[in-house]
Amino acid sequence: MNNIREKWMSEFLENSVYRLDESTRMNKISLESIEESNIWKKPNESSNSIGNQIIHICGNMTQYVIASLGGQSDLRNRDAEFSISEGYTSGQLILKLEDTVQQAKQVLNNCSKNQLLKKRVVQGFNLSGIGVVIHAVEHYSYHTGQIAFWTKLLVNKDLGFYDGRDLNIKNEN
């Protein structure tokens, strides 16, 4: 029974890391597809720029995974993530994102069963470590979709996230 539980947790963490890598890959494609002048452009006053989205993703992942699961201090200033309107180039945002995701992956790759099961309060929410991981992966994916949508509006082209893959293949049982 213990071996099955450890395999399940290992599979959960491996798939979580895979999803973080997928979102990172897609965000890099988006950032590399737009002109520098569009990084801080907002679709309207109720929305955020791609630059703000990347800074926000990094803040959220740092708070949830690196600080909470990694046992570090929570130094996040969430409001500042949305008030920035310049100062990072596309390349700098990619490096910031890659560095944050790499740190989060290190925490996940070293995560113990106790860390995954322990309840903690993060951003006012009472979550287990598993809940923290699910939130971080889901949150990253959610904003990746927003970034891709805004990028497609800006460049009017398919971003080719799955070029070379036949996505019409049926499931195997």
What pLDDT, on the 0 to 100 scale, is given for residue 105?
98
Q: Helix 50-61 vs helix 129-155: angle between axes, to the nearest 10 degrees?
A: 170
Annotation: CATH topology of 2-155: Four Helix Bundle (Hemerythrin (Met), subunit A) (1.20.120)
Average pLDDT over residues 80-87: 91
pLDDT at 1 over 70: no
Question: Could you give the 3-state DSSP secondary structure of residue 75?
Answer: coil
pTM for the whole structure: 0.94
Transcribe 120-144 into DSSP letters.
Answer: EEETTEEEEHHHHHHHHHHHHHHHH
The pLDDT-based confidence of 4 (bands split at 50, 70, 90) is: low
Task: Indicate whether 6 pLDDT > 80.
Answer: no
Please state the rounded mean pLDDT for residues 141-153. 97
| pLDDT of 72 | 93
Distance, CA of 122 to CA of 98 (rounded, Å): 23
Residue 25 main-chain phi, psi, to 5 deg: -60, -45
pLDDT in tens, 103-140: 999 999 999 999 999 999 999 999 999 999 999 999 99
For the chain, where are the alpha helices, taking DSSP H only?
Answer: 2-33, 50-61, 78-83, 90-109, 113-117, 129-155
Residues 6 or more apart whose CB falls under 8 angstroms from that of 93 comprise: 31, 39, 50, 51, 54, 55
Report how far apart, in Å, the C-alpha atoms of 172 and of each of 132, 168, 169 are.
31, 12, 9
CA distance 73 to 66: 9
Would the pLDDT of 101 be above 70?
A: yes
Report pLDDT digits (tens) over 22-70: 999 999 999 999 999 999 999 999 999 999 999 999 999 999 999 999 9
Average pLDDT across the chain, whole number: 95
